[in-house]
Homo-oligomer: A and B are copies of this chain.
Amino acid sequence: MSEQYHAIYEELGMDVALHEQMVQSIHEGFERCVLSQTGRPEGMAYFDSLVEAAHGSRVQEVLDHKAAGGAFIGTFCIYVPDEVAWALGVLPLALCGGTGFTVPYAEARMPRDICPLIKSTLGMAFSGCCPFGGIKDMAVGETTCDAKKKTWDVMAAWGINFHVMEVPQTKGERTAALWAAEVEEFRTRLEELSGRKLQADALTDAVRVMNRKRRALAELHAFRAEERPPISGTDVLVVTQGALVDDPERFSEHLEALNEELAERVTQGISPVAEGARRIMVGGSPAVMGNWKLHHLIETSGGVVVADESCTGTRYFEHLVPEIEDDVDAQLAAIADRYLQIDCACFSPNAERMENVVRLAQHYHVEGAIQYILQYCHGYNVEAINVAATLDEIGVPSLTIETDYSEEDAGQLRTRIEAFMEMAPAVR
């Protein structure tokens, strides 16, 4: 598969054989969970290819970008404003791991009881399986959870060039000012890294690039409100995951084409979703590339995922940034403001999230919600109590599932999900 990049991997000092095994393991999961589906839109072919590209052609693109004098940063959270990087010719790429393959390599050096997403990410670096780790000019962390926050400190102590953005924990005037200052500091840090000054026109252009991607994703997700969605929830997840790693312009182009195909499918009444499938909203922790476990279980247990209330769902694309011209400061302020609308569980209280959960459940005609909690993710795990109560108030039954990246609990989860499907009352 990724043989043509072996020379590059050798040069990057990676463990080529182990990396090949990892890619193979990801591909097996992809075949089992995604490619096994039937009635998929033709336009999915491009997004399917991104899974392979993430450990192949995308690496080459990053190297080409660097060879042309551009900088490259790794990020771990959708709170990091890509626009600012993009406008400075800095390529940002989400380095979040979705494979269980590398988890043991992290557990050898870090506490076992931190979330699988962090462990997968770190394990990829520790095992020599991350093509991007060694070529990034800087890593950008944030303070959205204890485990990540403290991990950045450890990585910094181990010599990795880390910039940490403080995402506040409450929302209000004071913390909005704090966050705006953090965005401003991010700009300064990236100006130093890139050796460029942030220009108004470049920033407006970057905002447009990212907004275009957000609009295309919003359009994609909107199809899920259809009585019989023209695309499965698993496929929507695959597309959204791709948004975190692909070139934004190329991504938007392909997504706009897919959306056209989906509109046509709606007109023609084509849907891969079985009639009577339970309409499920998945909420909570993100499911990044490599992780299709829950969506696959739901959609092979009589359900269809019609909404993703997560960082690989609505949290990623909702809220456009106002496109302001000729005023860097105003544009930066608008960017800061947009990101602060993300209703991450890191905020206390998080009334906005409760409102959004209700809005999404109603908009997508949800019949049941499954709260997806990555094991040891305190934020979404504890907040699940308030989310379940909120859903209960509007008559939407919910099930909270805490799981990791392994397949060990798949049978048990399937039993619970099937029981939930039978329980969930049809409210259509």
Contact = CB atoms under 8 A, between A and B. Distances in A.
Contacts of A150: 345, 348, 378-379, 381-383
Interface in A340-387: 345-346, 348-350, 375-376, 378-379, 381-386
A164 B169 CA distance: 10
B153 A350 contact: yes
A149 B169 contact: yes
How many monomers of this protein are in the complex?
A: 2
A113 interface: yes
Interface stretch (A73-81, A173-181, A309-317, A410-418): A173-181
A168 B170 contact: no
A150 B377 CA distance: 11
Interface of A: 109-111, 113-114, 143, 145-147, 149-154, 156-157, 164, 166, 168-170, 174-175, 178, 181, 345-346, 348-350, 375-376, 378-379, 381-386, 389, 402
A175 B166 contact: yes
Contacts of A181: 174
Nearest to A172: B166
A355 to B, nearest CB: 14
Contacts of A149: 169, 346, 348, 379
A378 B143 CA distance: 13
Contacts of A383: 150, 153-154
A382 B154 contact: yes
Contacts of A346: 146, 149
The 9 closest A-B pairs by CB, nearest first: A150-B382, A146-B378, A147-B378, A143-B169, A111-B381, A149-B348, A166-B170, A146-B146, A154-B385
Given A143-B169, A166-B168, A381 B113 contact: yes
Contacts of A174: 178, 181
Contacts of A349: 152-153, 156, 164
Contacts of A382: 110-111, 114, 146-147, 150-151, 153-154
B385 A110 contact: yes
Contact of A153 (B146, B157, B164, B386): B386
A284 B381 CA distance: 24
22 contacts: A111-B382, A143-B348, A145-B146, A145-B378, A146-B382, A147-B378, A149-B379, A150-B345, A150-B381, A151-B382, A152-B349, A153-B386, A154-B385, A154-B386, A157-B389, A166-B168, A166-B175, A169-B169, A174-B178, A175-B178, A178-B178, A376-B378
A170 B168 CA distance: 10
